[in-house]
């Protein structure tokens, strides 16, 4: 159940980053160039995608406990990210040292003791395929 929460948080953050990309002027230019749409048509198309993404984000947030959503929103506002990987025992948000023992409480949602970000251990490349 809790590891499911982490998966949802990661997915949520992905969607949030997609939303940022959609709103960037670069994306509008790329879309216009690749599709041959007019400025207005391209903007309209992006607007539709933005709306559907926002719906997805809202739907995902509704599946999470309110206090977690609150923390998540605060982290996104402050750092632009809420769920960060731990690499070489280091939180990739604030770069403080995270002992491995801190993370091996299997299934528990773990927060960085320094910055409060939700932490996860990235799956090593070789294990991804199976
Ligand atoms: Zn941290």
Give the distance (Å) from ligand 1 centre to CA of residue 123.
19
Sign, CA dihedral 72-75-80-86, equals: negative
Q: In what order do the strands lie in the sheet with 90-91?
A: 90-91, 83-87, 118-120, 110-111
Supply φ then ψ for residue 24, to 5 degrees: -85, 145
- The stretches of 25-93 forming alpha helices (DSSP H) are 25-35, 39-62, 66-79
Query: Do residues 59 and 52 lie in contact, with contact meaning Cβ atoms separated by under 8 Å?
Result: no
Give the distance (Å) from ligand 1 centre to CA of residue 48.
35
Q: Which structure tokens are listed for 58?
A: 């809202």
Query: Do residues 93 and 79 lie in contact, with contact meaning Cβ atoms separated by under 8 Å?
Result: yes
Q: What pLDDT score does 117 carry?
A: 97
Confidence class for position 129, pLDDT limits 50, 70, 90: low
Give the distance (Å) from ligand 1 centre to CA of residue 54.
27
Give the distance (Å) from ligand 1 centre to CA of residue 21.
25
Give the distance (Å) from ligand 1 centre to CA of residue 114.
5
Confidence class for position 101, pLDDT limits 50, 70, 90: confident
Confidence class for position 1, pLDDT limits 50, 70, 90: very low
The answer, as to whether pTM is greater than 0.95, is: no
Q: Kindly report, residue by residue over 17-38, the tens digit of the pLDDT.
A: 999 999 999 999 999 999 999 9
Q: Kindly report, residue by residue over 41-89, the tens digit of the pLDDT.
A: 999 999 999 999 999 999 999 999 999 999 999 999 999 999 999 999 9
């Amino acid at each position: 159940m809790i590891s499911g929460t982490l998966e949802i948080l990661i997915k949520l953050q992905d969607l949030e980053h997609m939303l940022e990309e959609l709103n960037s002027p670069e994306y509008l230019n790329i879309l216009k160039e690749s599709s041959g749409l007019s400025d207005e048509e391209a903007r309209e198309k992006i607007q539709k995608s933005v709306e559907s993404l926002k719906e997805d984000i809202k739907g995902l947030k509704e599946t999470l406990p309110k206090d977690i959503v609150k923390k998540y929103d605060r982290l996104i506002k402050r750092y632009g990210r809420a769920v960060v990987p731990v690499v070489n025992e280091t939180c990739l948000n604030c770069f403080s040292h995270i002992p491995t023992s801190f993370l091996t409480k299997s299934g528990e949602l773990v927060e960085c003791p320094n910055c409060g970000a939700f932490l996860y251990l990235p799956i090593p490349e070789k294990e991804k395929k199976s």
